[in-house]
């Protein structure tokens, strides 16, 4: 078990001795799944890819996931306050609702606003983050215009615990345990953060927006996973995440609850043919009381995926699949309300081929959205290994974003003709 108290500095003097006692390890290129929806070395992906590992998180000790993302090329982060405040992430200039966010493979953005609450993620519960820049609608459908950010939750091996404290009366705690056997592994990881925060208002901005009290934040979250080997050819994985946060705004209060659960069944159908069936559920609830004006939004999303990976010889990999998701949203305030839903079904194909030092990736997809209609997207990527340590690629792709439920149905501001 590791107990870490940030205020103590003595353990830092032990690091050189500990490092000297460890054998030299050769870093291997990380294996990613977000660029092509199947496993491949990050160095071989014909796309601009970054991976934030658990080692990176331990080394940098970020206050939030936003601290990790803002260090990456092509990403801009905007926050309107301190810890837990509303934030936006822009990838390659695309708006926040034009970046697909996945948690353990599950679409995590709100169905109403189309945005994801990055501030709800706790770095203590993250194993790695994969960032793929550029259009990816051919593989994922709607929203993947600027790219894809996929967060993988942490799976513990044994006990883990930490306690931290810092400025603005900020305290963090994390505790979890992971174990199992050769055929069944499980992990549970809980985290809590509490901060008095600071006032983000400008005292010169006027009485209406200025409130000298601090913008406090507290959040409790838990992740859980179960991985089971059902047979020599079949594996089952279940991953879940839940976060409840409360943010004290100037003249207001916001409660946010987010959760995702994903289930995947993978099996080898025949030699060279792997199938996977996936189910995902995401929920995003938010209630705000601002100077007596109350509003609430309750959204959920159900997703299904069927994917086939076919090895056509050593140099060719064909991926065929189909996606379905249904969005449902309920919004209400003191003057208006709506309760609506929409759905999308998509089919896709992606071929990756290697010819000596050259790689080619070609993909095509068709989506049919219940409100937005049909859309066809495609991508072509060419890569070449120039030297042993240098690789070049060029890529072209198209992408789209289907309107969110707010875009379609929000009272007095929506456009049902989208």
Tell me the three-class secondary structure of 161-206, residue by residue. EEEEEECCCEEEEEEEEEEECCCEEEEEEEEEEEECCCCCCCCCCC
Whether 180 is in a domain gets the answer yes
- How many structural domains is the chain composed of? 1
Between residues 253 and 349, which one has the greater pLDDT? 349
CA nearest to 259, candidates 99, 402, 110, 128: 110
pLDDT of residue 4: 47
Residues 203/219, Cβ–Cβ less than 8 Å: no
Tokens for 234, please give them: 């079949």
CA nearest to 191, candidates 63, 282, 77: 63
Tokens for 12, please give them: 């830092």
Whether 42 is in a domain gets the answer yes
CATH code of 298's domain: 2.40.170.20
CA nearest to 125, candidates 87, 68, 73, 196: 68
Three-class SS state of 246: strand
Residues 123/65, Cβ–Cβ less than 8 Å: yes
204 pLDDT tier (thresholds 50, 70, 90): low
> What gap in Å lies between CA 174 and CA 160, rounded to an integer?
8
Whether 1 is in a domain gets the answer no
Whether 5 is in a domain gets the answer no
* Ramachandran quadrant class, 313 (left: phi over 0; alpha: psi -120 to 50; beta: rest): left
> What gap in Å lies between CA 220 and CA 246, rounded to an integer?
9
CA nearest to 38, candidates 238, 264, 241: 264
Whether 111 is in a domain gets the answer yes
Give the list of residues 6+ apart from residue 163 with CB closer than 8 angstroms, or none.
3, 4, 5, 171, 172, 173, 174
pLDDT of residue 7: 35
pLDDT of residue 8: 33
* Ramachandran quadrant class, 105 (left: phi over 0; alpha: psi -120 to 50; beta: rest): left
Dump pLDDT digits (tens) for 63-87. Answer: 899 999 999 999 999 887 777 778 8
First to last CA, the chain: 54
CA 307 and chain centroid, separation: 20
Dump pLDDT digits (tens) for 32-60. Answer: 899 888 888 888 888 899 999 999 999 99
Residue 398 burial by Cβ neighbours in a 10 Å radius (0-12, 13-18, 19+): middle
Give the list of residues 6+ apart from residue 407 with CB closer than 8 angstroms, or none.
114, 414, 415, 418
Three-class SS state of 61: coil
Average pLDDT of the segment spanning 319-341: 94
Beta-carbon-side half-sphere exposure of residue 297 (alpha carbons within 13 Å): 22
CA nearest to 259, candidates 205, 229, 302: 302
Residues 145/99, Cβ–Cβ less than 8 Å: yes
Residue with tokens 């100037």: 250
Residues 190/175, Cβ–Cβ less than 8 Å: yes
Average pLDDT of the segment spanning 335-349: 95
Whether 415 is in a domain gets the answer no
pTM, full prediction: 0.89
Measured between alpha carbons, how far is residue 37 from residues 84, 262, 280, 351 in Å?
31, 16, 16, 11
Between residues 361 and 206, which one has the greater pLDDT? 361
Beta-carbon-side half-sphere exposure of residue 237 (alpha carbons within 13 Å): 15
Full domain range(s) for residue 139:
10-20+29-409
Between residues 11 and 314, which one has the greater pLDDT? 314
């Amino acid at each position: 078990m590791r107990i870490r108290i940030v205020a103590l500095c003595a353990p830092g003097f032990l690091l050189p001795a500990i490092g000297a006692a460890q054998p030299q390890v050769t870093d291997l290129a990380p294996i990613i799944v977000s660029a092509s929806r199947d496993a491949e070395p990050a160095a071989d992906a014909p796309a601009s890819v970054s991976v934030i590992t658990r080692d990176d998180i331990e080394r940098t000790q970020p206050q939030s996931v936003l601290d990790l993302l803002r260090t990456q090329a092509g990403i801009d982060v905007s926050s309107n306050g301190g810890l837990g405040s509303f934030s936006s992430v822009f990838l390659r200039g695309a708006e926040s609702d034009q970046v697909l966010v996945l948690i353990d493979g599950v679409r995590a953005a709100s169905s109403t606003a189309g945005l994801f609450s990055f501030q709800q993620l706790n770095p203590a519960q993250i194993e790695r983050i994969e960032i793929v820049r550029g259009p990816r609608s051919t593989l994922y459908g709607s929203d993947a215009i600027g790219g894809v950010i996929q967060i993988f939750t942490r799976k513990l091996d044994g006990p883990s615990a930490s306690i931290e404290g810092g400025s603005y009366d900020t305290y963090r705690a994390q505790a979890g345990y992971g174990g199992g056997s050769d055929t069944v592994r499980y992990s549970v990881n809980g985290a809590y953060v509490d901060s008095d925060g600071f006032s983000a208002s400008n005292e010169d901005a006027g009485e209406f927006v200025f409130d000298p009290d601090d913008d406090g934040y507290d959040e409790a979250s838990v992740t859980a996973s179960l991985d089971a080997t059902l047979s020599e050819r079949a594996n089952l994985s279940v991953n879940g995440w839940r976060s409840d946060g409360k943010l004290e705004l100037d003249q207001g209060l916001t409660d946010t609850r987010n959760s995702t659960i994903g289930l995947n069944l993978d099996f080898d159908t025949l030699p060279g043919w792997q199938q996977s069936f996936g189910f995902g559920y995401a929920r995003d609830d938010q209630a705000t009381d601002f100077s007596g004006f109350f509003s609430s939004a309750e959204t959920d999303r159900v997703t299904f995926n069927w994917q086939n990976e076919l090895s056509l010889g050593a140099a060719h990999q064909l991926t065929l699949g189909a996606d379905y998701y249904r969005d449902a949203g309920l919004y209400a305030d003191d003057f208006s309300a709506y309760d609506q839903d929409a759905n999308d079904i998509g089919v896709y194909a992606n071929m990756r081929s290697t010819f000596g030092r050259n790689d080619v990736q070609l993909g095509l997809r068709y989506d049919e959205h219940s409100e937005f209609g049909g859309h066809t997207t495609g991508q072509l990527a060419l890569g070449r290994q120039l030297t042993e340590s240098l690789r070049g690629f060029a890529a072209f792709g198209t992408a789209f974003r289907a309107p969110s439920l707010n875009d379609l149905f929000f009272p007095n501001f929506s456009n049902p003709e989208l």
